Amino acid sequence: MQTIRRIGILTSGGDCAGLNAVIRAVVHRADSHGWQVVGIHNGTAGLLARPVEYEELGLNVTTNNILRMGGTILGTTNKGDPFAFPTADGHLIDRTDEVIDGYRQLGLDALIGIGGDGSLRILRDLAAKGGIRLVAIPKTIDNDLGLTEVSIGHETAVVTATEALDHLQPTAASHSRVMVLEVMGRDAGHIALVSGIAGGADVILIPEIPYSLDRIAAKIENLKNRGRNFALVVVAEAVKTESGEALLTAHTGGKPTYGGIGQYISERIADLTGAETRVTVLGHVQRGGTPEPRDRLLASAFGVHAVDLIAAGKFDRMVAWQNRQVVDVPIEDAITQYQAVDPRGTLVHTARGLGICLGD
Ligand code: F6P
């Protein structure tokens, strides 16, 4: 087994709350082994830059304030896949040799990559090509990675969305309105379903369950007939129009993302029921902010276990949370076993049991 002296760490993909808590945990645990930690800036973009962009991380970063901080002190990117890197003239080129060379310049014995499924796929392929000894830590507000019950950042996003419903309910009742809340989650409905149940939504729409506008309208009418003067509707961003069209928002300097389904649902409800409606699109508020205790805990357990895996010479593994424990699984399995909402699972059953309309 190769002696470990110096390990790298990078955050990749969309940021979320809890990333700094992982960095803190990794530095602490590595220090107990007498290892140096190198923080690579902006994901693989730091390894593409010349000179390579990085900083040495010592126990000075394990202050208690980074435990509480949102974002990532290392920076991140969800653009620029080095296997298909976009050039100024619109071509895609392979820049993986440069990334691997950047990694070698740092003299690292192993790498901890923190990312969601897209980033971990890229890191795994880079590791295979460049002989990089990789351990992965799952983070994504979307909670769609396989083999881990939860990923870093999901809980904080859920709390933010639940608090939004707590804020919307009184104003909905004051004005006798239907409030539509659009939440993130990419192709999975976890944030919508969990926050919708916790926040007392009347209607929850997720991409995993097809809906009919007539069913939603009937639910709103039913509430009105029972004397309720308001309603709360949560819709996951990837829900399509009733005819099956995905609604996307274009951005300068980035790929289009989901956006617009909240407005669509709001307009259709207004048309079909005559209710006064308003839309709130929660957006990146769900990604920033102070990590909730569960995200700090998960980040801490994951960071310590990731370093322990390196110490044990176990690579190509992703740390995971299963049955109240931190465990580790093959990266390959985690990224190929996408975790959508199970339409027959406990939470869907719970929502139905509460009389929440899921649109079907
Ligand atoms: O994957 C995390 C996520 O926040 C998704 O929920 C959302 O669709 C997307 O990233 C937004 O990406 P961007 O930060 O590029 O707008």
* Secondary structure (H, E, C), the chain: CCCCCEEEEEECCCCCCCHHHHHHHHHHHHHHHCCEEEEECCCHHHHHCCCCCEEEECHHHHCHHHHHCCCCCCCCCCCCCHHHEECCCCCEECCHHHHHHHHHHCCCCEEEEEECHHHHHHHHHHHHHHCCCEEEEEECCCCCCCCCCCCECHHHHHHHHHHHHHHHHHHHHHHCEEEEEEECCCCCCHHHHHHHHHCCCCEEECCCCCCCHHHHHHHHHHHHHCCCCCEEEEEECCCCCCCCCCCEEEECCEEEEECCHHHHHHHHHHHHHCCEEEEEECHHHHCCCCCCHHHHHHHHHHHHHHHHHHHCCCCCEEEEEECCEEEEEEHHHHHHCCCCCCCCCHHHHHHHHCCCECCC
Asked if the model's pLDDT at residue 117 lies above 90, the reply is yes
Q: What is the mean pLDDT of the chain?
A: 97
Q: Using the atom order of ligand 1, give the atom closest to the CA of residue 286.
A: 4
User: For atom 14 of ligand 1, which residue has the closest CA?
Assistant: 14
Name the CATH architecture for the domain at 156-287. Answer: 3-Layer(aba) Sandwich (3.40)
Instruction: Give the tens place of pLDDT for each residue, 271-284.
Output: 999 999 999 999 99
- Residue 217's pLDDT is 98
Asked if the model's pLDDT at residue 2 lies above 80, the reply is no
Hey, what are 184's tokens?
């993130």
Regarding the beta carbon of 191 and ligand 1, being less than 6 Å apart is answered no
User: Residue type at 128?
Assistant: A
Instruction: Give the tens place of pLDDT for each residue, 60-105.
Output: 887 779 999 999 999 999 999 999 999 999 899 999 999 999 999 9
User: For atom 11 of ligand 1, which residue has the closest CA?
Assistant: 257
- Residue 202's pLDDT is 99
Contacts of 338 (CB under 8 A, 6+ apart): 117, 144, 145, 146, 188
Strands 248-251 vs 254-258: parallel, antiparallel or unpaired: antiparallel
Intrachain domains 6-152+291-336 and 156-287 with the same fold: yes
The active-site residue, picked from 15, 81, 117, 142, is 142
User: For atom 2 of ligand 1, which residue has the closest CA?
Assistant: 14
- Residue 27's pLDDT is 97
- Say which residue the tokens 């895996």 belong to: 309
Regarding the beta carbon of 261 and ligand 1, being less than 6 Å apart is answered no
Which residues are bridge partners to 238 per DSSP?
Answer: none
Cβ(191)–Cβ(158) under 8 Å?
yes
Regarding the beta carbon of 46 and ligand 1, being less than 6 Å apart is answered no
Instruction: Give the tens place of pLDDT for each residue, 316-352.
Output: 999 999 999 999 999 999 999 999 999 999 999 999 9
Cβ(199)–Cβ(161) under 8 Å?
yes
Within 10 angstroms of residue 349's Cβ, the number of other Cβ atoms is: 12
Regarding the beta carbon of 140 and ligand 1, being less than 6 Å apart is answered yes
Q: Using the atom order of ligand 1, give the atom closest to the CA of residue 257.
A: 8
Distance 154 CA to ligand 1 centre (A): 12
- Over residues 100-123, the mean pLDDT reads 98
Q: Residue 25: pLDDT band by 50, 70, 90 thresholds?
A: very high
Hey, what are 214's tokens?
């007539």
Q: Which CATH code is given to the segment(s) 6-152+291-336? A: 3.40.50.450
Entry pTM: 0.97
Q: Residue 254: pLDDT band by 50, 70, 90 thresholds?
A: confident
Cβ(70)–Cβ(290) under 8 Å?
yes
Asked if the model's pLDDT at residue 40 lies above 90, the reply is yes
Dmax of the chain from CA atoms? 71
Question: Is 101 tagged catalytic?
Answer: no
Distance 257 CA to ligand 1 centre (A): 7
- Residue 38's pLDDT is 98
Distance 205 CA to ligand 1 centre (A): 18
Regarding the beta carbon of 69 and ligand 1, being less than 6 Å apart is answered no
Distance 40 CA to ligand 1 centre (A): 22
- Residue 98's pLDDT is 98
Distance 314 CA to ligand 1 centre (A): 31
What are the boundaries of each domain within the chain? 6-152+291-336, 156-287
Q: Which of 15, 77, 78 to mutate to test the pocket of ligand 1 (most atoms within 8 A of CB)?
A: 78
- Residue 89's pLDDT is 92
Distance 47 CA to ligand 1 centre (A): 23
Cβ(143)–Cβ(190) under 8 Å?
yes
User: For atom 16 of ligand 1, which residue has the closest CA?
Assistant: 257
Regarding the beta carbon of 238 and ligand 1, being less than 6 Å apart is answered no
Hey, what are 63's tokens?
């202050």
Asked if the model's pLDDT at residue 253 lies above 90, the reply is no
Instruction: Give the tens place of pLDDT for each residue, 216-225.
Output: 999 999 999 9
- Residue 1's pLDDT is 63
- Over residues 221-250, the mean pLDDT reads 97
User: For atom 7 of ligand 1, which residue has the closest CA?
Assistant: 186
